[in-house]
Structure 1
C-alpha cells in the first residue's frame, strides 16, 4: 500500500503541474514544448486534466476499492504514451514530448507492477 500511495502522489502532482502550466503561463509552456496554433485546445486539455489529477489524488483520502485508481492511473499514462510517441515520431509535436512519454511509461510500469503485487497478495 505504501507504493500505491507514493505512485498516486507523484502521478497526480505531475498531472496537475503539467495541466496548470499552460493555463498559468502559455508563453513559457510553448518555449519548452514548441509553438501551438490552437492555444484554446492546449488550455482545454489542461483544464480537463485537473479533474483527472484531483480524482487520482482523492484515493489518498477516500479509502475505497482501489481498482478505479489503478485504471485511471494506468490508462491515463497509456493515453499519453500513445499520443506523445506517435505525434513526436510523426514530427507533429516537439520531441520534448518523448520525455513526457518516457515518464508516462514509468508510471504505467509502476501500475502494472503494483497490480501484480496486489493480485499475488489476494
Structure 2
C-alpha cells in the first residue's frame, strides 16, 4: 500500500482537480441560487434537501480539489472520488427517466467519465505499485523483542 500512496501521477492529480472544481460549482449552485438551479433541472418540492445534497457535493469537491492541488491523491481519496461519481450516476440513471429533468442524464454521462477515469488511474497505480520493502533484519534477540540496544 505504501508504494501506491507514493505514486502521484500527473493525470490523477488533474482528475482530482477537475472533479473537485466540477463538484464545488455544481454543489454550490443550488445553495447560492435555487431558482436558476430549478429552472434548469426542474422544480424540487424540498429545497432544503437539494441544498443539503449540494453542501455534501461541495465538501467532496473541496476535498478532491485540495488533494489534487497539494499532490496528495491517496488510494482513499481515489475511492471517495470514484464512489461519489458512481453513486451520483446511479441516482441520475434510476430517477431521471421517471421523475426529474432529462438534464440529469447529462450529469450521469459526466459522472461515468469520472468513474472511468478513476478506474484507469487505479489500474495504472496497481500496475506500477513497486515491490514492497523487505522486513527489517534483527541483529540480536533484544532487537527482535524491541529492547533498546
TM bucket normalised to smaller: over 0.9
Unmatched runs of 5 consecutive residues or more in structure 1: none
**Change over 3 Å in CA distance of 1:24–1:108 after alignment to 2:** same
Q: Which residue of 2 aligns with 1:20?
A: 28
Q: 1: distance between equivalents of 2:56 and 2:67?
A: 18
Shift of 1:74: 0.3
The answer to whether the aligner puts 1:70 opposite 2:75 as a matched pair is no
**Change over 3 Å in CA distance of 1:79–1:12 after alignment to 2:** same
Of 21, 43, 48, which residue of structure 1 is paired with 2:56?
A: 48
**Change over 3 Å in CA distance of 1:109–1:25 after alignment to 2:** same
Q: Which residue of 2 aligns with 1:95?
A: 102
Unmatched runs of 5 consecutive residues or more in structure 2: 1-8, 130-149
Instruction: Answer yes or no: is the 8 Å Cα contact 2:17–2:69 preserved in 1.
Output: no
Q: Which residue of 2 aligns with 1:38?
A: 46
Instruction: Number of aligned residue pairs: give it.
Output: 121
Q: 1: distance between equivalents of 2:23 and 2:114?
A: 11
Q: 2: distance between equivalents of 1:39 and 1:113?
A: 36
Of 98, 110, 113, which residue of structure 1 is paired with 2:120?
A: 113
Q: 2: distance between equivalents of 1:60 and 1:98?
A: 27
Question: Rg larger in 1 or in 2?
Answer: 2
**Change over 3 Å in CA distance of 1:28–1:64 after alignment to 2:** closer
Question: Which TM-score applies when normalising by structure 2?
Answer: 0.77
Instruction: Answer yes or no: is the 8 Å Cα contact 2:12–2:73 preserved in 1.
Output: no
Displaced runs of 4 or more, over 6 A: none
